Structure 1
Amino acid sequence: MTSSASPASETAAEIWEPQPPALLPPWHTPEREALMGQARRFAMDEVLPVAGELDPQKGEIPASLLSGMAERGWFGITVPAEQGGLGLGVFEYCMVSEELARAWMSTASILARSQGLGTAVLDADRRHDLMARSARGDWIGAIALSEPDAGSDLAGVTTRAVLDGDEWVVTGRKRWCGNAKAADFIQVLVREREPADGESRSAGLLNLLLEKKRGEFPEGLTGSPIDKIGYHGFLTWDLTFDGVRIPADNVIDQARAAQEDSAAEGDAAEQAGFAEAQKFLNTARVHTAARAVGLARAALEDSIRYLQEREQFGHPIADFQALRFNVAEMASQIEQSRAFYRQVAHLLDLGLPVAKEASMVKLEATEMSIRVTNQAMQLHGGNGYTTERQVERHWRDARLTTIFEGTSEIQKRIISDRLLPRSPLS
């Protein structure tokens, strides 16, 4: 059996109509409404049919969809206008991502591999050129952080980089590197040296920029795809670095690059750099929350349509109160998570510190997405446990959101550490 773009999926967008003016939320602007409408039409008309065809085949996002997103400027939503981007904020980035995730989560995820990623080199002219390429969709990357024995504990990274003349020589193994072969670059977390006595375990870590051709691995790098149960659209790789050479200047330093772009000096420059690096982490968590909301919304919309179509005992099953109450609960949970991620995105755009809130919304939205997609499968009955309906895809993809970008347990630790500081003896 293959997954089809069922009637429940094809017409689900009709369920979510623009709100009348009296009900518009405080964040509303005509520009945001137009952007959201554009993203919704693209997702439902262009992405969803492709997802229905390629996801069962574990196929990759086709170039046509990447071109469509590039034409709309979405690879540069958060890139400043003077560098070729749309010059918008985290709010708009997450709003578009929710719409894309409603159709196929991988299309929302590929946006995170642009937005200026892999541009924080210290040469200002080169940085400007890479930002422009990122905004055009010509600089889409991959991030190699985790290893077989270093996931949540990235301070345990053992992949080594040794400086040999004007090049770094990288040796080691990386795991869970999405889009690695199709990317224009890979941002690789490596260990330059072991931490000295009294230093943090993360001392000696560097991010290096490995430039490459799309569809190829450079000399010394080999990889094998990891066979996942979901999150198709791009391949996820287990990579082996065997003497891969990277130019010595290709060091990614988010904080120092932010200082270079700032007119601040001294302590103010240090603070600007730290804030930029922290915003990157927080943005990733809010982005995951938005994707989780999109997946949950897909499951709800498909369920509403299915309940209206399916008849039992002479009635559409949408008439049965128990099922109607399920829908009410699902919709309420989605709205709560959407309001929360948009609130945190707004605070990020104001430049406020929101590490705790970003972890909270990542935790809440992703756990909600699992509950809602699971309930949607139950509402579909036996049909939900087939590949004939797309609800099983939403469920498979939602399950991952509590794992990547920091597990739910990691988010709980971040939140609790800010609410309950640890004693010196712990």
Structure 2
Amino acid sequence: MTAPTFREPKPPVVAAPYWTEERAAVQAEARRFATEEILPVADELDPQKAEIPRSLLERLAKQGYFGITVSTELGGMGLGVFEYCMISEELARAWMSTASIIVRAQGAMGVNVADPQRRRALIERSAQGEWIGAAALSEPDVGSDLAAVRTRAVLDGDEYVITGEKRWCGNALAADFIQVFCRLADPEPGQSRAVGLGSILVEKERGSFPEGLTGTPIDKIGYHGFVTWNLTFDGLRVPAANRVYPKPAGDLTPLTETEAVSTAGFKAVEAELNTARVQTAARAVGLARGAVEDSLAYLQRREQFGRPIADFQYLRFLIAEMAARVEQARAFYQQVAHMIDAGLPCEREAAMAKLTASEMAAEVTAQAIQLHGGNGYTTEHRAERYWRDARLTTIFEGTSEIQRKIIADRLLPKSPLG
């Protein structure tokens, strides 16, 4: 596979409301980095189902991409969700796993412990790519219905004892920590009393699991770059100080009395999902854009009946439709990212952006395989990789069906009899 020539993004003819020179520079650097430094690695390692090498993680850290949304005071780039999604699109265009690994830092996961000084240190490490984690949310029988989790963390003195099973935990073995969403419980004589849902921070060494935790890798058809795990917790003991509280990312103030007893873990996860869904929309756009750009090059290179197939009107119309859908999805995710940065409620819009972008990406990348003909059904071209990874965007961070439910419930509140 030949890496495409780096092309600096061009400003729109009429400046978009979100377009600034600063953002243009951030996008251009992300595109250069993705094209020149990520894409060759992806072309080599993705067919092997290999993990992102440590050397590439270090280069991502040097770029500042693990701390895009972390304040400059804490060692980050000090940018917003808009730039976070814009950079994610560029990284996903090269290898979606790199746009996913940066999610596991950003000072938003695995840092909100009670001690403000420790919280600050973890955020700083996160921004530097030295504190990269994994999120254990889903379970074998619990997917989108996170309120039904069964994994329990029972307080025993100054430790929590975690028991249960988690599924779809990406990067678990290579991570510095795993944030486990579970049902918290306080002990009573002969039983434990459930007190709510929350997260516990499991610190670990990279490349190993602590005593009381075992894992089995899950073989996937795509989304290579890091391994996804099924985890079993069998009495894993974690310091009580590792409980994670629902505080805004970067808030270094001591816990209030209300926060200290809060069990609003489910609400906190829901709020984080808005950003996660818009970032997934950006990743989907990156994959679809890669499919369009590679298809354009292929149509001009491939000849049939004595001329490039790019001359055939039907194929020209197909690629035009594909390109238009990519632009539409990008405009939508940027609008919602702007809403998040402005502090506006956007649960419905985030679900819409994720739904439209992911479904678009699955269809556009499938069309790219068709445009490549028989060559599209080989691993000699990237079209199949774009499709394998794009297909997943309709499933994780809430399936398309869940997004439709969220949207419908906000458009059509159910009647008391419903």
Q: Decide: shared fold, TM above 0.5.
A: yes
Distance 1:75 1:258, change over 3 A: closer
C-alpha displacement of 1:257: 7.6
What is residue 41 of structure 1 aligned with on the other side?
32
1:86 pairs with 2:77:
yes
Distance 2:213 2:226 in 1: 19
SS in structure 2 at match of 1:112: helix
Q: Which of 89, 92, 96 matches 1:105?
A: 96
What is residue 11 of structure 1 aligned with on the other side?
4
Distance 1:292 1:105 in 2: 9
The root-mean-square deviation of aligned C-alpha atoms, in Å, is: 2.4
**TM-score normalized with structure 2 length:** 0.92
Conserved? CA contact 1:173–1:241, under 8 Å? yes
C-alpha displacement of 1:346: 0.7
C-alpha displacement of 1:395: 0.3
Q: Deviations for 1:146-182, whole angstroms, at most 9, x for unmatched residues? A: 1111111112211121111111111111110000000
Distance 2:167 2:285 in 1: 27
Q: Partner letter of residue 210 of structure 1?
A: V
Distance 1:22 1:415 in 2: 33
Of structures 1 and 2, the one with the larger relative CO (CA 8 A, separation 6+) is 1
1:291 pairs with 2:283:
yes
Distance 1:262 1:95, change over 3 A: farther
1:10-409 aligned within 5 A: 10-11=3-4, 13-14=6-7, 17-19=8-10, 22-116=13-107, 117-193=109-185, 204-255=196-247, 261=253, 279-409=271-401
Q: Partner letter of residue 41 of structure 1?
A: R
Distance 1:164 1:130 in 2: 25
Conserved? CA contact 2:362–2:390, under 8 Å? yes
C-alpha displacement of 1:279: 4.4
Q: Partner letter of residue 238 of structure 2?
A: I
C-alpha displacement of 1:425: 2.2
C-alpha displacement of 1:278: 5.3
Distance 2:131 2:170 in 1: 15
Q: Partner letter of residue 93 of structure 2?
A: R
Distance 1:206 1:56 in 2: 38
Q: Partner letter of residue 295 of structure 2?
A: S
Q: Deviations for 1:15-66, whole angstroms, at most 9, x for unmatched residues? A: xx53257433221111111111111111111111110110010000011111
Distance 1:256 1:396 in 2: 34
Distance 2:402 2:255 in 1: 35
The worse-fitting range, judged by mean Cα deviation, of 185-194 and 64-73 is 185-194
SS in structure 1 at match of 2:104: coil
Distance 1:265 1:300, change over 3 A: same
Give the % identical residues.
66
Q: Deviations for 1:362-390, whole angstroms, at most 9, x for unmatched residues? A: 00000000110010000000000001111
**TM-score normalized with structure 1 length:** 0.91
Distance 1:304 1:281, change over 3 A: same
SS in structure 1 at match of 2:314: helix
Distance 1:43 1:119 in 2: 28
The worse-fitting range, judged by mean Cα deviation, of 393-402 and 250-259 is 250-259
Aligned residue-pair number: 407
Distance 1:109 1:288 in 2: 9
Q: Deviations for 1:333-387, whole angstroms, at most 9, x for unmatched residues? A: 0000000000100111011111110000000000000110010000000000001
Distance 1:77 1:59 in 2: 26
Q: Partner letter of residue 284 of structure 1?
A: A
5+ residue gaps, structure 2, are 187-193
Q: Deviations for 1:313-346, whole angstroms, at most 9, x for unmatched residues? A: 0010000000000010000000000000001001
Conserved? CA contact 1:12–1:305, under 8 Å? no
Distance 1:161 1:207 in 2: 9
Q: Partner letter of residue 62 of structure 2?
A: E
C-alpha displacement of 1:417: 0.6
SS in structure 1 at match of 2:211: coil
5+ residue gaps, structure 1, are 195-201
Conserved? CA contact 2:123–2:250, under 8 Å? no
